Amino acid sequence: MVYLEHYIYLIYMIILLRGDLFRGCTIKTQVFAYKSIITHVIKPLNIKCKDINVIIVTYKNQYENMMKDIFKDYNFYFFIINRKNQVENYINSINKIPDFLINKKNNLLILRSDLYFKQNIDYSRISKDKILTQWNLLHDKSTGEMADQIQFIGGNLIHKFINKINTSRIDTKWPCSLHNFYNYCIEHFGKETISYLNYIKDPNPTHDHCEIRGNPIKELGNPLYNYTRYVK
C-alpha cells in the first residue's frame, strides 16, 4: 500500500525503459512484457497518466510506433543509442532524458525492457531524497554485490545522480556490470540515503550468499519478474 504522504512524492514520474527490445523473444512476448509493466509498475503509482513520462532507450528504431501505441496513455519518448558495454549503455540511456524533465518534481524509475513482471512494485518507501534498489537483499552480504535490473532515484537527487555517474566510475568492482550499484551509492550518497522497493524474505539469512537472484533462472530466482527470453 502507498500511504498518503507518498502521493506527494509521486506527482510526476519518469519511467526509463532501457536496453534491448525483443531480447531472445517474439514481438508478442515483448508486448506482453510492456503490458505487465503497465499493470505492475505504472498503475501501482496511482497517479494521473499525464504526469507519467515513459522513455524507451534502445539500439534500433524498429517498432517505435508499436511501442508508442502500447504506452499511448502516457507522455512517450523513444531514443536510440549506440550499443556499448552495460555500464556505458546505462549512463547513455539516462543521458537521453530530455533536460526539461530533469527537475525536483520528477522522480525517476530505471528498469530493463526485458522484464516480464509477476508482482507489483512496492512504492511505500519512496522519497524524493532517496535512492532505492529493487529489493532488500544483496547477492553477497560481504561484498555488497546487488541485483541491478531496477533503480529508483528521488527527484531531489536526480541532478546529482546524473552528474555523478558521468564523472565517477560505477563499475570499480565487477567491471562492465552494474552489480556495484549499492556500494557506489553508499560511497557517493551515504547509507542513510539508500533504501529498497520490494521486500523479499531471505531464504538463508545467516548465509553470506543469497539464493534470490536478479537473473530469474539462477538458483531460487525471484518472485518479482521473469526475463522475456524465458517466458513460454
77 beta partners: 55
Cell of 150: 531496477
pLDDT in tens, 15-45: 999 999 999 999 999 999 999 999 999 999 9
Residue 2's pLDDT is: 46
CA-wise closest residue to 47 among 101, 8, 76:
8
Cell of 69: 501505441
Q: How many helices (H) and strands (E) does the chain have?
A: 6, 9
Tally the domains of the chain: 1
Residue 50's pLDDT is: 96
Distance CA 185, CA 71 (A): 31
8 A C-beta contact, residue 88 and residue 177: no
pLDDT in tens, 91-148: 999 999 999 999 989 999 999 999 999 999 999 999 999 999 999 999 999 999 999 9
Distance CA 129, CA 157 (A): 6
- CATH of residue 100: 3.90.550
Structural domain boundaries enclosing 202: 4-230
Three-class SS state of 186: helix
pTM of the model: 0.95
